[in-house]
Amino acid sequence: MSNLFTPLQELRALATFINDSIDEIEQVCSKTGKEFPSLHDPSGLEQEEIFAVPEVAKASNILVSAASQLVAAVRPPTVTFFCQASLFHIPSALGVAIKAHVPEILREAGPQGLRVKDIAAFTGINSDKLAHILGLLASNYIFREIIPDTFTNNRLSAGLDTGKNVKDIIADPGSKYDGTGSRTALWECMTTDGLRSSGHFADVIFDPQLTNSGEPNHTAFNLAYKTDLPYFGWLSKPEHAYESKRFAVAMHSISALTAPRVITKGFDWKSLPKGSVVVDVAGGIGSHTMILAKEFNHLRYIVQDRAAVMHQEAPRFWNQELPEAISSGRVQLQGQNTHDMFGPQPIHNAAAFFLRAIIHDWSDDYSIKILSQLRAAATPDTRLIVIDSVIPYACGDHDLSSNIEGAKNVRPSAPAPLLPNYGVANLMTYLMDMHMTACLNGQERTVPHFARIFERSGWKLVRVHTEGHNFHDIKMIGVPAEA
C-alpha cells in the first residue's frame, strides 16, 4: 500500500516505474523492429499497432498510471482543483476544432502548418477566439503550435481527420462522416450531446423525482435538450438525421476497433454442436457476428436489431463482406418488427444469447427485463454471453465473488504505490460510466453488480474472461439458474 512509503520514497518509486516501463517498451521495439510513434508526427498514427503488443500495453498502463500519480503528488492542490474544475473547456474546444474541420484543413496545409486567421477563414469563425481554442488544445498535446499563431497536426490531432477533402466537407457538412468509419464521429457525439448533458448531471442527482429513476428519459440529456424522448428516440426524429447518422458512424467505428479475440476467446464456440443457434441480441448490422461466422462456420446465427437496420444497412454489410452466409441461411437478419428485446424472445432453441455493449445502455430494471426475456426463452443448456466494460474497485483489495471463475482476474493488481486500479490509466471506463448515466440512465458495472442482475433475471454468472490489461470488453458467461 502507498502509505508504507514516505512522500519522497513514493515520488522515487513512481519515477522508477516510469523509467522501467520505458525500458520495457524500448526492448519490445528493438526485438520486433517496430518504431514507437512520435507525438509530434502526424504519420505516427500509422504506428499504433505497437500498443497491441501485450508487453507494451502493460508497460503503457503502468507508465500512464505512474506519470499521472506523480503529477497529482507534486502539483499544488489549488492548481489541481482549478484545472480539474475547468477541464470541461477542453471538450468544448475540441468540439469547435472538429466542427471547424481544423484537422482536415491542417492536413491539406502540410507540415509547414497554417496561420489561425487562414484556418478560421474556411468557416468564417473569429480567428482570435480560434487562436485561444487551439492554444488550449496544443497545450494539452492536441495539435502543435510551430510558431506563434501557426498550427499543424500532430499524432493526436491527425486522429481527428476524416480524410475527406475540405471543400467537399464545407459544401455538404451533413455528409462529413459518410463512408469514413471515422472515430471523430464519436468524439463529436461526446463533445456535443455528452458535454451538454454533463452540465445537467447535478440537476438530476438532486431532483427528488429523478435521482432514483432508471427511466431512459429521466436523464441529464433530457434536461439539456428539453425533450421527453429517450436518447435513441430523440435520434430517430427526422430533424435529427445528422445526429443519427453521426451516431451510427461512431458506433461502427468503435465496433471496427474490437479485436477479433475479444469475440472469439473466452467461450468455447467450437464445442457447440453443428447447427447450434447463436442469437446476437441488438447486434446492429452484425459486425461481431461476422467475426464469429467467419471462424465458426458450423454454427447458425441470428442477428436482431431495429427493423430499419435489418432491412437496409445490415443486408448491405453482409452482401459485401460474406454474401454466402445470407444466401445459405446460415445467418438470418431479424428486425424488431418481429420482436422487441423487452418483449418475448422468439428464438427458443438458442445455444447462446450474445450481447456486446448492450447492457451498459440500460438501468438495472431495464437490463433485468432484457435478460429475463432471454431466460424465459432459454433451454437448460443455453448460455448467456455478455461482453461489456467492468469497473474495478479503486481500493483493489476486495472480494470479487470468489466463487465465480475468473472474477479475481478483474481485481486491480497495480503494484504499490500506484493506485490499485491503475488510476488514470483506466479512466476511460469511469468516464464512459458517467456518459452512459448522463445520456441514457445506463451504467458500467462491477463484477458483483453483474452477478446481481444476472441472478435477478434468472441467470447465474459462472465465469468471467478478461483480455489484455484493461477493463473493457470483459466477457461474462451465464447459465440458467435453477428454478
- Cα of 324 vs its chain's centroid, Å: 31
Contacts of 115-121 spanning 24+ positions with Cβ under 8 A: 115/149, 115/150, 116/149, 116/150, 116/151, 117/149, 119/151
Alpha carbons 91 and 97: distance in angstroms, whole number: 10
In the numeric block, which cell numbers belong to residue 239? Answer: 430533424
Nearest by Cα to 30 from 64, 56, 57, 60? 56
Alpha carbons 64 and 422: distance in angstroms, whole number: 8
Judge residue 250's burial from the number of C-beta atoms within 10 Å of its C-beta, 0-12 exposed, 13-18 middle, 19 or more buried: buried
Active-site entry in 360, 435, 465, 472: 360
Nearest by Cα to 149 from 120, 190, 192, 181? 120
- The size of the chain, in residues, is 483
Residue 438 CB neighbour total at 10 angstroms:
25
Alpha carbons 300 and 279: distance in angstroms, whole number: 9
Alpha carbons 320 and 119: distance in angstroms, whole number: 39
H or E segment at 478? strand 474-480
Handedness of CA 81, 60, 185, 279 (dihedral sign): negative
Residue 360 CB neighbour total at 10 angstroms:
22
**DSSP state string for 74-97:** HS-HHHHHHHHHHTTHHHHHHHHH
Place of cell 491503475: 422
Q: Is 200 a catalytic residue?
A: no
User: With the CA atoms of 111, 112, 117 and 118 taken in that order, what torsion angle do they form, in degrees rounded to the nearest 10?
Assistant: -70
Task: Return the beta strands (E) in 93-206 as ranges.
Answer: 114-115, 144-147, 150-152
User: With the CA atoms of 128, 134, 135 and 137 taken in that order, what torsion angle do they form, in degrees rounded to the nearest 10?
Assistant: 150
Alpha carbons 63 and 21: distance in angstroms, whole number: 6
Cα three-residue angle 11-416-468, rounded to 5 degrees? 115
- Mind telling me the catalytic residues? 360
